Structure 1
C-alpha cells in the first residue's frame, strides 16, 4: 500500500517485536549507518528516509512499535496502512522467537492487512555463540506463515542494507 503525493510516494513500514530484540537499533543502523545499543525508547518511535529509485522519490515512514501484550491491540489499526510489516526476534532469546510466532499468527488470523509484505527478522546474528534459534527454524516458521525471512546484525551492519533493499524492491515491484 503506497500512497502518492505530488512530490513522492509514501511507503509505511512497521516493525514489531518484544523488548530488547534490537528493533530500534536496526532502524538506526539503516537510517544513520551507526549502531546505538539499547536506545531506551518507550511507545512508538518514528523515522523517515527518502530514497530515489529510478526516477521516483520514495519517502519511507518507519514506525518502531515497542510492544507488549497490553498495548498490541492499539497498533492493529495502524498495521492496516502499512506496505511492510516486520516482526522481529532476538536469535539469542527463545522466548522472543516464540512471541514473534504468536504475533505473526495473530496478524495473519485477523487479516490486519492483506496487501502488506510480511517479514520475520532474526536480529543479533553477531552473537552466534549464544544462539538459541537456528537459522533453519526461523526460515521454516517464516515459510509456513507465508513471510519473507532475514537474519541481520544491527551491531555489525550484517545484512541490514540488504534487508531493506530487498523489502523495498519487493514492494515496489508488486505495486
Structure 2
C-alpha cells in the first residue's frame, strides 16, 4: 500500500549534479541556493564533493533538498561513487558551447547507472550557458533527443542570467511529489520511486 507523505513534515530529497569539469555545476548550485553567480574567475574547481541544503515548498509540501555537487575531474571519480547511494534525482550537466561535454554524457550516464542504488531515480539532462548563444555548439534539439533516448527530463539554463535554474529543480521535485506511487509507508526516507519509466521535456530556458 502506498501513501503520500504528511504535508506538515519536510520530505528530504537527495539530488546529485554530475558532468564534466567546467560545465557550471557549482554555478548552477550557487545560483539556486543563494542566488549568486560564481563566474569562472570567482571559483576554484570542486575538489571531490560539495554539499548544500535548500529548503523549499512545493505546493503545500515542505521539501528539504540536499544537493551534492560532484567534481568532474577523472582523478576524483573514486571519491564520489559512494555519494550516488540513495539519490532520488541525478542532474547531468553539459555546456551548450562545448560539444565534448555533451559527448561525455554517455560516460556520466553509464556511471550513474552503475552506482545509483535506486535504478528508477529521476534523471534530468541540463544544458547550461545558454547566455552564450553566439558560441553555442550543441543545439537544443540535440539535447531534447538525447533526453528522449534516455527517458530523462530536459532543461536548458544559464547560471549566469539565472534563466531556467530554479525551474530545473522545481520540475524535478514536482515530478517526484506528483506521483503517489513514489511513496511507501514502509520507506522511512519517504520516497520509493516507481518502476514506470517516463520522458518529460521541459520548456524552461527556451
Alignment TM-score > 0.5, same fold: yes
What is the aligned length? 171
Mapped contact 2:48–2:80 kept (Cα < 8 A) = no
Cα RMSD (Å) of the superposition? 2.0
Deviation for aligned residue 1:111: 6.7
| Equivalent-residue separation in structure 1 for 2:22 and 2:121 (angstroms) | 25
Give structure 2 stretches of 5+ with no counterpart. Answer: 183-206
Deviation for aligned residue 1:73: 4.2
Write 1 or 2 for the structure with the bigger share of strand: 1
Mapped contact 2:58–2:173 kept (Cα < 8 A) = no
Indicate whether 1:33 and 2:35 are aligned.
Answer: yes
Q: Could you say which residue in structure 2 is the equivalent of 1:157?
A: 162
Residue of structure 2 aligned with 1:97, choices 80, 98, 102: 102
Residue of structure 2 aligned with 1:11, choices 2, 10, 13: 13
Residue of structure 2 aligned with 1:23, choices 3, 11, 25: 25
Give structure 1 stretches of 5+ with no counterpart. Answer: none
Which of 18-27 and 66-75 deviates more? 66-75
Q: Could you say which residue in structure 1 is the equivalent of 2:124?
A: 119
Indicate whether 1:48 and 2:50 are aligned.
Answer: no
| Equivalent-residue separation in structure 1 for 2:58 and 2:168 (angstroms) | 16
Deviation for aligned residue 1:145: 1.2
Mapped contact 1:105–1:145 kept (Cα < 8 A) = no
Q: Could you say which residue in structure 2 is the equivalent of 1:173?
A: 178
Mapped contact 2:128–2:157 kept (Cα < 8 A) = yes
Mapped contact 2:158–2:165 kept (Cα < 8 A) = yes
Deviation for aligned residue 1:7: 4.9
| Equivalent-residue separation in structure 1 for 2:101 and 2:68 (angstroms) | 19
**CA-to-aligned-CA distance 1:6-32 (integer Å, 9 cap, x gap):** 952210000001111010000111111
> Secondary structure at the residue paired with 1:153?
coil
> Secondary structure at the residue paired with 1:15?
strand
Mapped contact 2:49–2:69 kept (Cα < 8 A) = yes
Q: Indicate the structure (1 or 2) with the bigger Cα radius of gyration.
A: 2
Matches within 5 A, 1:41-80: 41-80=46-85
